[in-house]
Amino acid sequence: MLSPKIVKAINHQINRELFSGYLYLGMSSAATSLGLMGIANWFFVQMQEEMIHARMMFDYVNRQGGRPLLESIEEPPQKYADPKAMFKKTLEHEREVTKLINNIVSLARVENDHATEIFYQFFVTEQIEEEANPLDILRKLELVGDGNGLFLLDKELGMRVFTLPSQAQIQP
């Protein structure tokens, strides 16, 4: 069983994961409009991951007898000058998400809620990747500039495919 404080915190995090998906879907659209179909694909896969994060948390609250209550989702920024601006925003956003995840773990500790603390270990680890990936791509964008290198990097990012994390305990 979850305490009301924990349910409230996870419900808010479900909203933040859905917003993240919305943010990346907007970036996918922006990349498409720039003709960068590989980057558009990368952000679409990123959106799919966020939807799974939301679903994992939604299922967790349900399994623990809580009630996921949905908050409204705001319009994401949708104007980006270039791919660098998108990945900068991604890195900045994921750093904020890391803080939110850490706050839930801290709250779980205060509430003596070991199950929630263990459940969120997946997301603590996931956030390392979520920050490392845009940072890595930003460094590559700096290296390649706007010419043929960008074309090749776009091709590389077009290879990304969505895979369900093994930790995603999705209920039928």
Structure token pair of residue 21: 């998906």
Structure token pair of residue 84: 């660098």
Q: Least distance (Å) from Mg ion to the CB of residue 144? A: 27
**Of 53 and 89, which CB lies nearer to Mg ion in the complex structure?**
53
- Which ranges of 120-147 would DSSP assign to H, the alpha helix? 121-144
- Asked whether position 93 contacts Mg ion by CB under 5 A, the answer is no
Q: Least distance (Å) from Mg ion to the CB of residue 90? A: 11
Binding mask 26-65 for Mg ion (x = CB under 5 A): ------------------------x--x------------
Q: Least distance (Å) from Mg ion to the CB of residue 97? A: 6
Please enumerate, as own/partner, the contacts of 151-159 that have beta carbons within 8 Å and a separation of 24 or more: 153/38, 154/36, 154/37, 154/38, 154/39, 155/38, 156/38, 157/38, 157/39, 157/41, 157/42, 158/37, 158/38, 158/39, 158/41, 158/42, 159/38
**Of 28 and 153, which CB lies nearer to Mg ion in the complex structure?**
28
**Of 3 and 160, which CB lies nearer to Mg ion in the complex structure?**
160
- Phi, psi (deg, nearest 5) at residue 152: -70, -40
**Of 27 and 150, which CB lies nearer to Mg ion in the complex structure?**
27
Q: Least distance (Å) from Mg ion to the CB of residue 49? A: 7
- Decide if 21 contacts 54 (C-beta within 8 A): yes
Where do contacts with Mg ion occur on this chain (CB under 5 A)?
17, 50, 53
